[in-house]
Amino acid sequence: MERVSRHYTFRLPRFYVEKILTNDENDPLWDLVLPGEQEIADTADERWDAYQLETRAVNHPRWIQKYRYEALIRTTDYCSGLCRYCYLKNREVIPGVLSHADIDDMFDQMEARAESHLLRELILSGGDPLAVSASLIAHFADRLARINRTRSHNITVSIHTREPVWYPQRISQSAALQAALAKLEPSSYILHVVHPREVTGELLACIELLADLTPRRVPLIMTQHPLFRTINDDASVITQMYDRLDSGRITVKPYYLIHPFPDGTLPKHRLTLPESQRILRDLASAPGTRVPLLTVPTPMGKCVIGPYERLVDEGGYYVLHTKDGVPVQYAIGARYDPQETRPAIPVVSLPIHP
């Protein structure tokens, strides 16, 4: 563990240890949080953020834009706990935290560029955006309100966070952060939760708190999570998690079921694409509001797979399509292939359907 943590930082909040983990060496959740030998085999040569639109609305290292209508902002590389499967842990993530000057630079560019008129949503991601200072979120909210006053449609904000799982007190005990989030009025919070035991009473209280901050426009609360062999590769475990998340006063909608990233994910946790699809099938015969979308992350964007879509082996790869119709060769195989870097997952020159 010490050897691994010299390569990849180790951080685990006391709350997670005391409230979620059990004193049992066979508890599979330990594997997600303690450094393990298998991480050393991760070649870390993937560059998920490298493939972006040529016509980005903003040129800034923290601005990631794969779609015309949506951009993701890497607010920080900090999370209160570090998932051992994090695909960003030593790659192109920019260390430190977004500054006020970074925010001004991004919004100045947006105000000046025609491309920004296509933007519908900004995703605050990280690391964890709820781990940054309240003053930054408040400043972001001010600049967003300013640009929205000049647009025919609002650019909305979605916050992707695992902080309510790792350390909900950061939110529940910070009046300043709550005031900044109330000012920002995000349209949605996407919670990263992977197992039913991660749904603590504190997490449910945090969901209610976040929803109550903006009564004028209550945010959509959704959950998304990667699939991992032996952790949550079973529809009954996932359903139990969805039920617990939805047991409070606020409705929590399942959003993405994420096929494991080909790197970052420990080899013992990886699934094949047909295995992930089988889990989706087991979840699919439920009311539509309870069914997630199975998405395959690729450097070119997300590819959504239907429960009964035919996966055709084209000679060692499947041809998948991103949300924008960009065809992607996706290598077949349960195990990480070091060759499966971005150049080895080229965009196939097939016609793109409008």
Q: State the residues that interact with ligand SF4 by CB under 6 A.
A: 79, 82-83, 86, 88, 126-128, 162, 192
Residue number, 126 or 292, with CB nearest to ligand SF4: 126
Q: For the stretch 232-249, what's the b/e string if a residue is b when 16 or more beta carbons lie within 10 angstroms of its beta carbon?
A: bbebebbbbbbebbbebe
Minimum Å distance from CB 318 to ligand SF4?
A: 25
Q: What are phi and psi of 150, to 5 degrees?
A: -105, 0
Residue number, 60 or 192, with CB nearest to ligand SF4: 192
Minimum Å distance from CB 306 to ligand SF4?
A: 26
DSSP per-residue codes, 155-194: PEEEEEE-HHHH-THHHHT-HHHHHHHHHH--SEEEEE--
Residue number, 267 or 316, with CB nearest to ligand SF4: 267
DSSP per-residue codes, 73-94: EE-BS--SS--TT-TTTTSSPP
- Under 8 Å between Cβ of 199 and 244: yes
- Under 8 Å between Cβ of 167 and 135: no
Element (H, E) at 278: helix 273-284
Minimum Å distance from CB 165 to ligand SF4?
A: 8
Minimum Å distance from CB 79 to ligand SF4?
A: 3
Query: CA of 185: how far to CAs of 99, 108, 280, in Å?
Result: 20, 21, 32
Minimum Å distance from CB 96 to ligand SF4?
A: 15
Strand partners, 318: 330
Query: CA of 214: how far to CAs of 125, 136, 141, 176, in Å?
Result: 20, 18, 13, 15
Residue number, 87 or 317, with CB nearest to ligand SF4: 87
Residue number, 170 or 192, with CB nearest to ligand SF4: 192
Helix or strand or coil: residue 276? helix
Amino acid at 262: P
Strand partners, 27: none
Residue number, 35 or 127, with CB nearest to ligand SF4: 127
- Under 8 Å between Cβ of 7 and 39: yes
Residue number, 226 or 327, with CB nearest to ligand SF4: 226
Residue number, 82 or 227, with CB nearest to ligand SF4: 82
Minimum Å distance from CB 81 to ligand SF4?
A: 7
Minimum Å distance from CB 78 to ligand SF4?
A: 8
Minimum Å distance from CB 72 to ligand SF4?
A: 12
